[in-house]
Structure 1
Amino acid sequence: MATPSKPPSTSSGPLNPKTTHREFFGFPGAVAVMTTTVAVLYTWYFSCNERDGCQLPLTFDRWKHIIASATDFHAYFNTQALKYVAMWWAWLAVLYFILPARTVQGVVLRNGQRLKYPISGLTSLLVTALTATAVYAQNGLGPFLWIAEHFFELAFASLVFSTLLAVFVYLFSFRHSSVERENKPVVMLALAGNSSNPVYDFFIGRELNPRLGSLDIKYFCELRPGIMGWVLLNVSFALKQYAQQGCVSAAMWLAIVPQIAYCIDTLLFEDKVLTTMDITTDGFGWMLAFGDLTWVPFMYSLQARYLSFTPVHLSTEYTVFIALLSLCSFLVFRLSNSQKNAFRTNPNDPNLKHLKFITTKSGSRLLVSGWWGMARHVNYTGDWMYGLAQCLATGFDTPMTYFFSAYFLVLLVHRNYRDECKCREKYGSDWVTYCKMVPYMFIPYLI
């Protein structure tokens, strides 16, 4: 009798090939990004707060103060904050399981499978908002003021939690790594996360879709704890301003209403995230864990935090200008994305018959008219201008509140580069033809 052959290792098999191209220049880039993002989180808090004001640390004394504050571990490590961060994650995870949800299939994976995802983010936000309202009715402003006053303790707790989560999913990705069932790997690795360099793989994310039962950890973290935490922080800072000044200023409304609307819009179109690179391509490692759970809520709420302790008075004309800029840029973002999603879903829809497209050799259709005839990434333009309007609401006394806009510009340019590389590889000469027909990336006739 022939001896059965040993199952091939899926850590380097045909479905889980070794990583050939490392993002962010590999190991040194991974270390640099992890170090820099945490340093920015610290710097933007310890140089922009109620006690010290909000100015860039351009002097040695300011840096000395920041370093001394940042290394005073006992001053901001708060076990209660860590407990609340864990409870927040667990609360939303419970809602993920128990709330009624529409089930949607993701894209086809390399092994031919399609994972199922519950679409219930907006319902989770609604239930959480109703719960927060009940907490307010029972306890008044106290719990929300605690959140605003213990902002950095919560941020540090979130950093600890997201790092522990990244350690867990990294170790979890090695389960049954040498077993295949029906020639399909038990663990599907991300193409960029199988480099055998533990630091880089930990950073970029080794497993593509880590799951605990039906809880897809990456999908869950992508839109729920961080996005809803951003809303909670903004509301808490607005209530802090109300408690201290007796009103919520126009500047605060201009900053938080568009951000809350953006969060609601994201959850309203939750199923669309299933076709983004974060879900289809990237693994879930420290980069996404920290980005989703810590960076988004605690850096993106900077405008509201600044306005909670800094009076900013805007003229009527300037207020109207920012409101119009927010509205117009949001419409560019939403209408362009909606047109693309509608065309992907049903390109034969009679409402889309006026749109022109080219058909690639792969069978895909690329729009060359409508919003997508203006620029290849016109949605990024609307997205960036929407964020800029929120920064403009903080006035011009400090450049620190414009970090959101500057960072988002870098993020979108990098994402554009990744999109262009992916499309160039996928469509080949058809992409060259498409670029000639739609020559601008962001703004028609300019860029």
Structure 2
Amino acid sequence: MRQVTWGRASKAGLTTSIGALFMVVSAPLWVHLDWIALEYFDASLTTTLRALMSKGPITFVQEYSPHPSYQAALGYTAWLALQSLLYSYLPGPKCLGQRTPGGHQLSYTTNGLTAWYITHIAFLAGALLGLLDPASIAKHWQGLLVAANAYGFALAVLAPLKGYWCPTYREDCKISGEQHPLLDVELNPRIGKHYDLKFFHNGRPGIVAWTLINFSWAAYQRERLGYVTNPMLLVIALQTLYVVDFFINENWYTRTIDISHDHFGFMLAWGDTTFLPTTYTLQAQYLARNPIHLTPLHTLAILATGLTAYAIFRSANHQRDHVRTHNGAARLWGRPATFIRASYSTSDWQVHHTILLTSGWWGVVRHANYFADLLLAAAMCATCGVTHVLPWTYFFFMGVLLWHRCGRDERRCRAKYGAFWAEYCEKVPWRLVPGVY
């Protein structure tokens, strides 16, 4: 096999190792601090940090840290088991992912939408029949937070160990003597032939839970106020649209950077099981505790922004897939599509061909889907007003994440496509935000 560089970096330098260690230590503290701010300090991060400084870390942790509970741990375990069963046994369309640096093209069963429907119908039926309290997730949130943290850490430790001892596709692993043990090793770790650990955890425990958590916090708000506010309804509508669209287009997701490029380690293991369901739902958590009311004009403006962002996101991805599917014989915005025919090679010495689109949204900005993601994140957070920073965490996180991904994508594509990518950058100069960056 020939070593290729566009799929991963096999060596971790000192800076990377220090950064990884900092992330492992600080990440759980971040989500705990968010919960503490919401639970005890009226969602004020400033007041929370002042309390931390005045009391000292040990006393602060003793007084305010979330506590585990047997009931929450049992519920979280049952949740993982349910989603794992649905993932393993529900029928669904088969699709092929993007070719890996090692030359593999893996098959996936995309049954996420069915799993989402079954989960939410069961939750709704249980609530209507009086079998469960729809606000139970919100009421047991601190215990669930602890349980998710524990599972995310366990998964993040076990994933690289599996990569060292029994990798599924050794050609796609990044293993070297300099590799930090906390970093990701396997690209597509699987148990057996079909149970893909990364694909399962990327979509099921966190993203299926995202809307379920929102609905529970809405029920909690209704229990407190007697009604659900329009900002809560708006953020639930926008985020439900995002989640359902994700599962409708789950086959497309198998060809995105998360699946085709990111190796499975702490960032995805802990991030998808803990950070995603706790941080992406901060708007609903905030509004349940700090209800606000938007004017009809503000509501319409936020809704219009969110729907516009969604339309850009969906149409941009459709344009790229449409042109590639038709080998360039397509029209975008009423004109023949323009593009660059590029080639790249994998470690098995095979040469592959693709299209770099220079028209439609991809002629406006090189990462049109990222721009739409950022705009949609702003709309979601705007439902909470501008008096607190905490509910805007999702927007700031997405900004940093997408900026980082832009840089990483640029390096990867430059290594993968060479002169073809340089030509593309000349034709489409803007990376993330047209006219700005």
Q: CA deviation at 1:306?
A: 0.6
Q: CA deviation at 1:176?
A: 4.9
In structure 2, what is the Cα distance between the partners aligned to 1:290 and 1:375? 31
Matched residue, 1:285: 265
In structure 2, what is the Cα distance between the partners aligned to 1:266 and 1:156? 27
- Once the two structures are superposed, residues 304-348 of structure 1 have per-residue CA deviations (whole angstroms, 9 ceiling, x without a partner) of 001001120111211111111111111111111121122233334
Matched residue, 2:339: 357
In structure 1, what is the Cα distance between the partners aligned to 2:285 and 2:26? 22
In the TM superposition, 1:173-184 aligns within 5 A as 173-176=163-166
In structure 2, what is the Cα distance between the partners aligned to 1:85 and 1:376? 40
Structure 2 contact 155–270 (Cα < 8 Å) conserved: no
- TM-score, normalised by the number of residues in structure 1: 0.87
For residues 45 and 29 of structure 1, do their structure 2 counterparts lie closer, same or farther at Cα, with a shift above 3 Å needed?
same
Matched residue, 1:155: 145
In the TM superposition, 1:180-259 aligns within 5 A as 187-188=169-170, 190-191=172-173, 193-196=174-177, 200-202=180-182, 204-213=183-192, 214-259=194-239
Which amino acid in the other structure matches residue 339 of structure 2?
F
Structure 1: unaligned runs, 5 residues or longer? 1-12, 178-185
Q: CA deviation at 1:90?
A: 1.2
Matched residue, 1:136: 127
In structure 1, what is the Cα distance between the partners aligned to 2:268 and 2:13? 14
Matched residue, 1:436: 426
In structure 1, what is the Cα distance between the partners aligned to 2:164 and 2:433? 45
In structure 1, what is the Cα distance between the partners aligned to 2:26 and 2:402? 18
Q: CA deviation at 1:19?
A: 5.2
Matched residue, 1:272: 252
Which amino acid in the other structure matches residue 383 of structure 1?
D
In structure 2, what is the Cα distance between the partners aligned to 1:350 and 1:307? 45
Q: Which of these residues, 359, 372, 395, is aligned with residue 362 of structure 2?
A: 372
- Once the two structures are superposed, residues 380-439 of structure 1 have per-residue CA deviations (whole angstroms, 9 ceiling, x without a partner) of 111111111111110122111111111110000000001100111122222222111111
Q: Which is worse superposed, 23-32 or 407-416?
A: 23-32
Q: Which of these residues, 281, 289, 302, is aligned with residue 309 of structure 1?
A: 289
Which amino acid in the other structure matches residue 206 of structure 1?
V
Q: Which of these residues, 416, 420, 428, is aligned with residue 410 of structure 2?
A: 420
Q: Which secondary structure state, in structure 2, belongs to the residue aligned with residue 359 of structure 1? A: strand
Q: CA deviation at 1:197?
A: 5.1
- Residue 326 (str. 1) matches residue 306 (str. 2): yes
Structure 2 contact 322–330 (Cα < 8 Å) conserved: no
In the TM superposition, 1:32-71 aligns within 5 A as 32-49=22-39, 51-57=40-46, 60-64=50-54, 67=57, 68-71=59-62
- Once the two structures are superposed, residues 115-141 of structure 1 have per-residue CA deviations (whole angstroms, 9 ceiling, x without a partner) of 22101000100111111122112226x
Q: CA deviation at 1:15?
A: 6.8
- Residue 403 (str. 1) matches residue 383 (str. 2): no
In the TM superposition, 1:86-101 aligns within 5 A as 86-101=77-92
Which amino acid in the other structure matches residue 91 of structure 1?
L
In structure 1, what is the Cα distance between the partners aligned to 2:409 and 2:176? 22
Structure 1 contact 391–402 (Cα < 8 Å) conserved: yes
Q: Which secondary structure state, in structure 2, belongs to the residue aligned with residue 439 of structure 1? A: coil
Q: Percent identity?
A: 30
Q: Which is worse superposed, 213-222 or 51-60?
A: 51-60
In structure 1, what is the Cα distance between the partners aligned to 2:3 and 2:129? 54
In structure 2, what is the Cα distance between the partners aligned to 1:23 and 1:384? 30
Q: Which of these residues, 310, 321, 343, is aligned with residue 323 of structure 2?
A: 343
Which amino acid in the other structure matches residue 226 of structure 1?
G
Which amino acid in the other structure matches residue 139 of structure 1?
G
Structure 1 contact 358–367 (Cα < 8 Å) conserved: yes
Structure 1 contact 101–120 (Cα < 8 Å) conserved: yes
In structure 2, what is the Cα distance between the partners aligned to 1:354 and 1:19? 38
Matched residue, 1:29: 19
Q: Which secondary structure state, in structure 2, belongs to the residue aligned with residue 173 of structure 1? A: helix
- Once the two structures are superposed, residues 147-174 of structure 1 have per-residue CA deviations (whole angstroms, 9 ceiling, x without a partner) of 1022121111101011112222222223
In structure 2, what is the Cα distance between the partners aligned to 1:427 and 1:136? 53
Aligned length, in residue pairs: 422
Q: CA deviation at 1:21?
A: 4.1
Matched residue, 1:391: 381
For residues 369 and 126 of structure 1, do their structure 2 counterparts lie closer, same or farther at Cα, with a shift above 3 Å needed?
same
In structure 1, what is the Cα distance between the partners aligned to 2:107 and 2:95? 6
Structure 1 contact 16–189 (Cα < 8 Å) conserved: no
Q: Which is worse superposed, 277-286 or 303-312?
A: 277-286
Matched residue, 1:127: 118
Q: Which is worse superposed, 211-220 or 66-75?
A: 66-75
Which amino acid in the other structure matches residue 145 of structure 2?
A
Q: CA deviation at 1:230?
A: 0.9
For residues 361 and 173 of structure 1, do their structure 2 counterparts lie closer, same or farther at Cα, with a shift above 3 Å needed?
closer
Which amino acid in the other structure matches residue 340 of structure 2?
I
Q: Which is worse superposed, 32-41 or 231-240?
A: 32-41
- Residue 82 (str. 1) matches residue 73 (str. 2): yes
- Once the two structures are superposed, residues 262-300 of structure 1 have per-residue CA deviations (whole angstroms, 9 ceiling, x without a partner) of 111111111112222222222211221111111111111
